[in-house]
Amino acid sequence: MDLKPGEMLHKRYRIIEKLEASKYGAVYRGWDIADKNQVAIKQLRLTDPAVARKFRSEVRRFSAVKHPQIPAVRDQFVVGQSNHYMVSDFVEGVSLQSLVKQYMDLPSELIVSALEGINHPLTYLHEAGLVHGNIKPGNIRMAPNGDFYLVDYGFVGLDLPPADTRMAAPEMQAHNEFDFKADIYSLGATLFTLLTGDRPPDPVKREAEMRPMPLAREINPNALPHLSLIANRAMAIDPAVRHETIQVFMDGLNRPESRGLVDASIAIDRDAPPSSHRMGSFSDFSSGSREMPQLKPQRRRREIQRRVLIGLLSIFMIFLASVLAIAYFNQQTLDGGSVEAATATTESQVIAALTAVAPTITPTPLATLGPTPTPAPLVSKSGMRMLYMPGGVFRYGNNDGENNEAPSLLINLDAYYIDETEVTNQQYRQCVEENRCTEPGDGASYHDGYNWRSEAWDSYPVIYVTWAQADNFCDWRGTRLPTEAEWERAAGYDPVELKRSLYPWGEEFNGNNLNYCDGNCPKAERDFEFEDGHTDTAPVGSFPAGQSPLGAYDMLGNVKEWVDDWYDRDYYQEAPPQNPRGPAEGDAKVLRGGSWFSAREDLLVTRRDRLDPNVPLATVGFRCALPAN
């Protein structure tokens, strides 16, 4: 199913244009009408249910990736039976593939800068045990400020043949075991493409036909010799012959004999942060020109290149003589072995030796950092303390709960702050007195003489507020309502023990830890096993034993709490693995936490309720949240 410009997808994303197509689907640029920003939408057409499950699992794995040069995964969903989508941040700028098509012969300085620019994100993935699986010029983007980004993923866990076999390692095509060396192969293929303007030959066909890998310099005489050799070593059929790590590959890009070929004004600082690996601004490569900026030719450059060529030729002749000698003295042993294996071994030895002419620079080890201290609570303008919840992965939902709580899934949330208690009458009154909030409703209460304006009720949670009133109050404070996922994590997740429970205090219900419909409740179906002394709302923080592991009070009981999300009974079936925020629209808003009027079976941190956002009730209040960044 091709998506057309202007078409709405999943009631949230407006298609702007198709960026790329493959035999498995396409990538689109779109507009998120909820968050009001541009996104990249990857579409995969998967008819096999087993492969579809693997896709969802892969998306969840990559949603945990947090690197400033890798777009964050924001959403995933299915349309129909076979169209699977992943939504991520969109990087403004231009891909290296676009530059190759436009200018053909790219300056070596730009090529080196681009590859070094993705060193940090690629190393980050490999240290996390992830293989990118889709490195190519089209997935390296240069932002307008000159920074380089690594976009898209190959989803190697799907066990599908690579979409572009000329850029993929042979072990991936053969469905053999592979590791980060497959990315090194694709990095070499990318370098070859940038040097020549064309992709390298398919490695499987090259191996089957026993054809040697051509040097990029044979196709483009302007390609620097050492870059040609680096590309060929990275594309060795045998992974053991390729560069040991990404860093070793990067170290070779600026070998000692290549110094002096790059103008000092654009020399690259290897120890600088990623944002310093730039090549001028995006305007330097305007689409209105067919000529790339070129350095002035210097005699010194031609002399250095000549010396490099002579040195390389001498080394090649020495090794060629060695190879012939080995072949001569071992002729009899070859008769009983494999000619193909011997040829591959000899070719690999020569390539490895030639690309190891320059000494390998050992990177300076990074200093070991101590644990990051937990930020102190914030104090908002209303006097509310806000507790810090670190970002990370936790289990969301409950397969043993109600139908709208399933399926339980692992999601990843960014760090945030959340109110220590529910918003009180005294705090809400401050906003009303500043003419930023409207007064709450005056509905009935079981408290004699209840009055939200009276100081006697200052410490009680504000009630009879609509969702819009709650949202407006949080905005006045410079905060917002928490998402449903943020609320649940704060209610039952322990950021120290890294585990969650069904109640803020543990796995078993205890009526002494919350204000709910116990023996004092005016409802006929009350629970006579416990009595907390409250027939209605209680002052916030009245049940210290019921605090969540984070330290938040009254996450269960007292009042139900508005959250930011629209309600959808089946939302968990399509919730994105990264910062889920609910559907883009709906008829009701989600309530969480239960109230003084709730039965014990309705009091779990995973329990979901809903209400018309325009309806205020005596059982409903709220608390606010704030992203940590």
pLDDT above 90 (res 546)? yes
Which of 138-147, 248-257, 402-411, 468-477 has the weakest average pLDDT? 248-257
pLDDT in tens, 58-86: 888 888 899 999 999 999 888 887 899 99
Say how far residue 37 (Cα) sits from the centre of its chain: 16
- Together in a domain, 132 and 80: no
- Together in a domain, 283 and 192: yes
Which residue type is seen at 539? P
User: 556-587 burial string, b = 16+ CB within 10 Å, else e?
Assistant: bbbbbbbbbbbbbeebbebbbbbbbbbbeebe
How far apart, in whole angstroms, are the C-alpha atoms of residue 374 and residue 390? Answer: 8
- Boundary-marking domain end, from 321, 338, 354: 354
- Together in a domain, 82 and 100: no
Whichever domain contains 29, its CATH number is 3.30.200.20
What confidence tier does 160 reach under pLDDT thresholds 50, 70, 90? confident
Whichever domain contains 341, its CATH number is 1.10.510.10
Both tokens of residue 350? 């020569």
Q: 491 vs 6, 328, 554, 593, 604, CA distance in Å?
A: 40, 75, 9, 8, 9
Q: Assess if residue 368 is contained within a domain.
A: no
- Together in a domain, 173 and 313: yes
How far apart, in whole angstroms, are the C-alpha atoms of residue 447 and residue 618? Answer: 11
- Together in a domain, 76 and 223: no
pLDDT in tens, 272-297: 333 333 333 333 333 333 343 333 33
Element (H, E) at 565: strand 560-566
What confidence tier does 264 reach under pLDDT thresholds 50, 70, 90? very low
Q: 67 vs 35, 70, 71, 125, 150, CA distance in Å?
A: 20, 5, 8, 9, 10
Higher-scoring residue by pLDDT: 272, 626: 626
Both tokens of residue 362? 């050992």
Alpha-helical runs (H) found in 96-243: 96-103, 108-117, 119-127, 170-173, 181-196, 203-208, 216-219, 225-234
Which of 31-35, 259-263, 406-410, 425-429 has the weakest average pLDDT? 259-263
What is the pLDDT, as a whole number, of residue 362? 38
Provide the mean pLDDT of the chain: 82
pLDDT above 60 (res 325)? no
How far apart, in whole angstroms, are the C-alpha atoms of residue 234 and residue 561? Answer: 56
Both tokens of residue 578? 């990264």
What is the pLDDT, as a whole number, of residue 178? 86
- Together in a domain, 516 and 385: yes
Query: Which residue range is the domain that position 600 belongs to?
Result: 378-424+461-627
What confidence tier does 177 reach under pLDDT thresholds 50, 70, 90? confident
Alpha-helical runs (H) found in 462-516: 467-476, 484-492
- Whole-prediction pTM value? 0.49
Q: Assess if residue 339 is contained within a domain.
A: yes
- Together in a domain, 592 and 469: yes
How far apart, in whole angstroms, are the C-alpha atoms of residue 484 and residue 566? Answer: 9
Q: 73 vs 25, 548, 577, 578, CA distance in Å?
A: 18, 29, 8, 6
- Together in a domain, 521 and 608: yes
What is the pLDDT, as a whole number, of residue 22? 84
- Name residue, tokens 């079981």: 446
| Secondary structure (DSSP) of 175-193 | T----THHHHHHHHHHHHH
pLDDT above 80 (res 355)? no
What confidence tier does 375 reach under pLDDT thresholds 50, 70, 90? confident
- Together in a domain, 288 and 317: yes
Which of 222-226, 343-347, 620-624 has the weakest average pLDDT? 343-347
What is the pLDDT, as a whole number, of residue 1? 66
- Boundary-marking domain end, from 38, 70, 89: 89
Q: Assess if residue 174 is contained within a domain.
A: yes
Q: 546 vs 17, 398, 507, 515, 552, CA distance in Å?
A: 51, 21, 12, 10, 9
Q: Are 111 and 246 in contact (CB under 8 A)?
A: no
Q: Assess if residue 363 is contained within a domain.
A: no
- Together in a domain, 168 and 122: yes
**Over residues 347-372, mean pLDDT:** 40
Q: Are 563 and 588 in contact (CB under 8 A)?
A: no
Going by C-alpha positions, the residue among 595, 513, 590, 522 that lies closest to residue 559 is 595
Q: Which residues contact 547 (CB under 8 A, 6 or more apart)?
A: 504, 505, 553
Higher-scoring residue by pLDDT: 206, 365: 206
Q: Phi/psi zone of residue 6: left (φ > 0), alpha (ψ -120 to 50 degrees), beta?
A: left
- Boundary-marking domain end, from 89, 113, 148: 89
CB atoms within 10 A of CB 26: 17
Whichever domain contains 515, its CATH number is 3.90.1580.10
Sign of CA dihedral 222, 224, 225, 229: negative
Q: Assess if residue 280 is contained within a domain.
A: yes
Q: Assess if residue 228 is contained within a domain.
A: yes
- Together in a domain, 614 and 591: yes
pLDDT in tens, 28-39: 999 999 889 999
Q: Assess if residue 372 is contained within a domain.
A: no
- Together in a domain, 404 and 317: no
How far apart, in whole angstroms, are the C-alpha atoms of residue 342 and residue 353? Answer: 17
Pairing of strands 560-566, 620-622: parallel
Q: Assess if residue 250 is contained within a domain.
A: yes
Number of domains in the chain: 3
